[in-house]
């Protein structure tokens, strides 16, 4: 059976590609997640060999300006408003230091911390810079992942999550580096097809199912991967 490893934010986490038939899908997606969370999960998967060289990688791009910060485990400053939820949070091991990491997405940081130095520092950092250099990390990391897993398919989450004018340049980059992509974004395609949004401004289940069956699955078949 084909093995797929899926990465992304809520646009993957809300369905985890469950509408793909006869495929073994493992999802690492985090609602409210960031690109560097995805990189950590991928790197750990390769390290533990749960992701193998011939496996398929579906990499759903979130807003590249999102960034996750690692905070000290069990720090009293952490305020979790939704115990047990994983929104904007990834807890995992740093395989290079042996330490546990608690990664929180910057745009959700105010929900997780109360007013102290760590909040002030992150807020100031985000006010001073738009984190546009993350686009470099995103693109060149995917270029490296392609060398480790040749069956890499990039899917865009939503067009408004990208800086203006950026998507065409990203598509050009992927073409130059032989990285397979699906150009229509998940959210934008479902809206164009007439599917309604959920209350959280994401596609509804019917939209996710249609995108999987009418866009993703045919693409995987055309590549000869399933």
pLDDT at position 107 is 60
In whole angstroms, give the CA distance from residue 215 to residue 226. 14
85-99: pLDDT as tens digits: 457 888 899 999 999
* Coil, helix or strand at residue 101: strand
Max CA pair span of the chain: 53
Structure tokens belonging to residue 28: 């690492």
Number of other residues whose CB lies within 10 A of the CB of residue 191:
15
Q: In a 10 Å sphere around its CB, with 0-12 CB exposed, 13-18 middle and 19+ buried, how is residue 179 labelled? A: buried
73-128: pLDDT as tens digits: 555 445 554 444 457 888 899 999 999 888 888 665 554 454 444 444 455 455 54
175-217: pLDDT as tens digits: 999 999 999 999 999 999 999 998 888 999 999 999 999 999 9
Rounded to two decimals, the pTM is 0.88
Residues of the chain above pLDDT 90, percent? 65
pLDDT at position 37 is 96
Specify the higher pLDDT residue, 21 or 129.
21
In whole angstroms, give the CA distance from residue 203 to residue 186. 8
Structure tokens belonging to residue 144: 């490296």
pLDDT at position 61 is 97
Q: Are 145 and 38 in contact (CB under 8 A)?
A: no
Q: Are 101 and 41 in contact (CB under 8 A)?
A: no
């Amino acid at each position: 059976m084909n093995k797929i490893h899926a990465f992304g934010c809520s646009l993957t986490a809300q369905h985890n590609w469950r509408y793909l038939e006869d495929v073994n899908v493992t999802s690492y997606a985090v609602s409210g997640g960031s690109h560097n969370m995805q990189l950590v999960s991928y790197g750990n998967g390769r390290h533990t060999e749960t992701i193998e060289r011939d496996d398929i990688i579906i990499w759903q791009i979130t807003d590249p300006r999102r960034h996750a910060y690692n905070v000290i485990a069990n720090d009293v400053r952490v305020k979790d408003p939704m115990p047990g939820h994983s929104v904007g949070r990834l807890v995992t091991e740093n395989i290079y230091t042996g330490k546990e990491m608690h990664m929180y997405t910057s745009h959700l940081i105010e929900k997780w911390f109360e007013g102290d130095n760590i909040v002030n520092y992150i807020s100031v950092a985000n006010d001073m810079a738009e984190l546009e250099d993350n686009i470099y990390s995103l693109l060149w990391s995917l270029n490296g992942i392609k060398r480790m897993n040749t069956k890499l398919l990039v899917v865009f989450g939503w067009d408004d999550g990208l800086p203006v004018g950026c998507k065409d340049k990203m598509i050009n980059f992927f073409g130059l580096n032989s990285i397979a992509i699906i150009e229509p974004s998940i959210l934008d395609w479902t809206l164009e097809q007439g599917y309604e949004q959920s209350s959280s401004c994401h596609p509804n289940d019917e939209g996710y199912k249609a995108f999987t069956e009418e866009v993703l699955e045919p693409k995987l078949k055309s590549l000869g991967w399933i």
